[in-house]
Amino acid sequence: MLKVRDWNDVIDILYFGTKEDILSLACPDCGGPIQYQASASCSTFQVSCVACGVLSRGHGIPDDLACVKYFGESYTIPARKLAGVG
**Which residues make up the interface to Zn ion (CB under 5 A)?**
27, 29-30, 32, 49, 51-52
Between 25 and 61, name the residue whose CB sits nearer to Zn ion: 25
Contacts of residue 53, Cβ cutoff 8 Å, sequence gap at least 6: none
Whole-number minimum distance, CB 26 to Zn ion, in Å? 8
Whole-number minimum distance, CB 24 to Zn ion, in Å? 15
Between 9 and 40, name the residue whose CB sits nearer to Zn ion: 9
What is the spatial distance between Cα 6 and Cα 37, in angstroms, rounded to a whole number? 18
What is the spatial distance between Cα 45 and Cα 58, in angstroms, rounded to a whole number? 5
